[in-house]
Chain A
Amino acid sequence: MSTPEAEVMQPSTPTGPMIRTLMGIAMLSGFLVVLTYQLTKPIIAENQRRAIEAAVFNVIPGAVARRDFVINEGELHPVTADKPADGILIYAGYDSEGDLKGVAAKAAAQGYADLIHILYGYDPSCECIRGMKVLKLAETPGLGDKIITDANFVANFEALDARLSSDGQALANEIVTVKQGSKQNPWEIDAISGATISSKAVGKAINQSAKRLLPDLVPHLDKLVQEDNTVDRPEISDE
């Protein structure tokens, strides 16, 4: 390329075949990708639905059916496929008779490595958190991931107090993570020694989310029950 002769030697670039090849390949690629996307889309959607459902039933003991709602500026709206709404998404869980067993919501807080995403279940009958499931985490294996495996830590969420204060605007007691072995009150979470940051993140996530969600949710709890009864089908498709 450095000498004029070399430039002469180089045949003028055949643009036509180049463009044709690239175009053909791009079209073929596009076709294959769209085909795969269309074929796998319903299966992936079903997988995701089942994953959410399993997680929701996991954090609401006794639930066998679920419906989705959003809370937007203190108002509760049901979510349907044709009418997606903005706001905080919550999952209401019902038992086989259609009675409301609890409400699940997502929460997240900064852990040691990255955001820890969790799902927690709130039971209105005891005004407490009845379950917690980690949806996504990037914590150190063997240390931070004890928040999933440590039985003593998971036991914190069997009945974690989340009562509202008398005016209904805030939690009566903020949910806090305390040092391992120093749990005194039902709204405290016993941390895992060696995984304090991850334990605290879970407590912080639940506290922040519950503080924001429950004052808006609790006045509308009867609505969750009523709407389910008016349709008188316990298992409503969420498609």
Chain B
Amino acid sequence: MGKDNNTITWETFSEGLWRDNPVFVMLLGMCPVLAVTNSAINALAMGLATTFVLLASGTLISLLRHSIPKQVRIATYIVIIATFVTIVDYTIQAISLDLYNALGAFIQLIVVNCMILGRAEAYASRNRPLKAVTNGLGMGIGFTFALLCLGVVREILGAGSLFGIDLFGPRFEPWVVMVLPAGGFLVLGAWLLLFEWLNQRKERAELETAAETR
């Protein structure tokens, strides 16, 4: 583990929001992204649950980073992540059984969300707690944002509602495929296209300004 770089910059927080967005750029954690984004509320709950696990496991791993032997680090990370996932699991059951039933097995599957393990291995285990939390918060918000992007579009098109509130009245014919898995892929594809296009446009603009200043 290299030396701790102690400076926390805006970049520490914001890289998860846009530049390294876990869904749209790194394409991590695709399983919940496609599975539970059929409504906005499911997407939001999944995003918040993942964010909580990311923050809590990141904090603990960062605190223990000097005392975890290298050979058993993955096992340790998984146990820590699984603990917080279990806590989230019970908490969601206590908050709303309907929500719990809607999310189904995907709460437990946060354990194997590669974004969380990836952050633990690549970031939390190498930085001090405050920095790990800042970065984890950015990543979590980025993940939640991405899930909401999918959930909102799929719920509007597939059920004609948003957060359970009917938008178009009874004459709207829902585009059922959007709440099915196929719709998840379609909407994800469309968002990836948009993100890639925006990124390329930004890069081109940067190149042009660089050329002009020269």
CB distance B93 to A36 under 8 Å?
no
Are A51 and B79 touching (Cβ within 8 A)? no
* B8: min CB distance to chain A, Å: 27
The interface-forming segment of B23-31, B125-133, B173-181 is: B173-181
- Any chain B CB within 8 A of the CB of A18? yes
In the assembled complex, the Cα of A43 lies from the Cα of B64 at a distance in Å of 33
Report how far A14 CA is from B69 CA in the complex, Å: 9
Minimum CB–CB distance for A46 against chain B, Å: 9
The answer for the CA separation of A18 and B69 in the assembled complex, in Å, is 6
Residue A212 is within 8 A (CB to CB) of chain B in the complex: no
Q: Check A32–B90 contact: CB distance below 8 A.
A: no
Contact among B38, B68, B79, B91 for A29, CB-based, below 8 A? B79
State whether B94 touches A21 (Cβ < 8 A).
no
Q: Could you say which residues of chain B place their CB within 8 Å of the CB of A33?
A: 83, 86-87
Known A25-B76, A44-B90, A136-B101: A18·B71 in contact at CB below 8 Å = yes
- Within 49-99 of B, Cβ neighbours of A (below 8 Å) are at 64, 67-69, 71-72, 75-76, 79-80, 82-84, 86-87, 90-91, 93-94, 96-97
Contact between chains at B90 and A29 (CB < 8 Å)? no
Q: Tell me if A141 and B93 are in contact (CB < 8 A).
A: no
Which residue of A is nearest B67, CB measured? A21
Whole-angstrom CA separation of A40 from B94 in the bound complex? 6
Q: How far is the CB of B38 from chain A (nearest CB, A)?
A: 7
**What's the least CB distance linking B91 to chain A, in Å?**
6
* Contact flag A25-B79 (CB < 8 Å), given A40-B90, A43-B94: yes
Contacting residues, chain A, for B72 (C-beta < 8 A): 18, 21-22
User: Is B158's CB within 8 Å of the partner chain A?
Assistant: yes
Which residue in chain B gives the minimum CB-CB distance to A28?
A: B83
**Closest approach, in angstroms, between the C-beta of A166 and any C-beta of chain B?**
43
Please give, as numbers and ranges, the residues of chain A lying within 8 Å of B69 by CB-CB distance. Answer: 14, 17-18, 21
B52: min CB distance to chain A, Å: 12
Chain A residues within 8 Å of B67, by CB: 17, 21
A51 to B100 CA separation, bound complex (whole angstroms): 13
A7 to B86, CA, bound (A): 40
| A44-B94 contact in complex given A29-B82, A33-B87, A136-B101, C-beta closer than 8 Å | yes
In the complex, how many residues of chain A place their beta carbon closer than 8 angstroms to a beta carbon of chain B? 25
B97 touches A36 (CB 8 A): no
Closest to A37 in B: B90
Knowing A14-B69, A21-B72, say if A40 contacts B176 (CB, 8 Å). no
- Closest CB-CB distance, B72 to chain A, in whole Å? 5
Q: B97–A51 contact, CB under 8 A?
A: yes
Given the complex of chains A and B, what is the CA–CA distance between A140 and B96 in angstroms?
23
B38, A141: Cβ atoms closer than 8 Å: yes
Q: Does the CB pair A22–B76 fall under 8 Å?
A: yes
In the assembled complex, how far is the CB of residue A226 from the closest CB belonging to chain B, in whole angstroms? 34
Closest chain A residue to B81 by CB distance? A29
B158 x A141 contact (CB < 8 A) = yes
State the Cβ distance, B113 to closest chain A Cβ, in Å. Answer: 18
Q: Across the interface, which residues of A come within 8 angstroms of B86, CB to CB?
A: 33, 36
**A36 CA to B88 CA, complexed, in Å:** 9
Interface string of A124-141 (1 = CB under 8 A from B): 000000000000100011
Give 1 or 0 for each of B90-124: 1 = CB within 8 Å of chain A CB: 11011011000100000000000000000000000
In whole Å, how far is A150's beta carbon from the nearest beta carbon of chain B?
Answer: 13
Question: Which residues of B are at the interface with A, using a C-beta cutoff of 8 A?
Answer: 38, 64, 67-69, 71-72, 75-76, 79-80, 82-84, 86-87, 90-91, 93-94, 96-97, 101, 158-159, 174, 176, 179-180
Q: For the complex of A and B, list the 3 residue pairs with the smallest distance between their C-beta atoms, beginning with the closest.
A: A142-B176, A29-B83, A43-B94
A-B contact pairs, 25 of them (CB 8 A): A14-B69, A17-B67, A18-B69, A18-B71, A21-B64, A21-B67, A21-B69, A21-B76, A22-B76, A25-B64, A25-B79, A25-B80, A32-B83, A33-B86, A36-B87, A40-B90, A40-B91, A40-B93, A44-B93, A44-B94, A47-B96, A136-B101, A141-B159, A142-B158, A142-B179
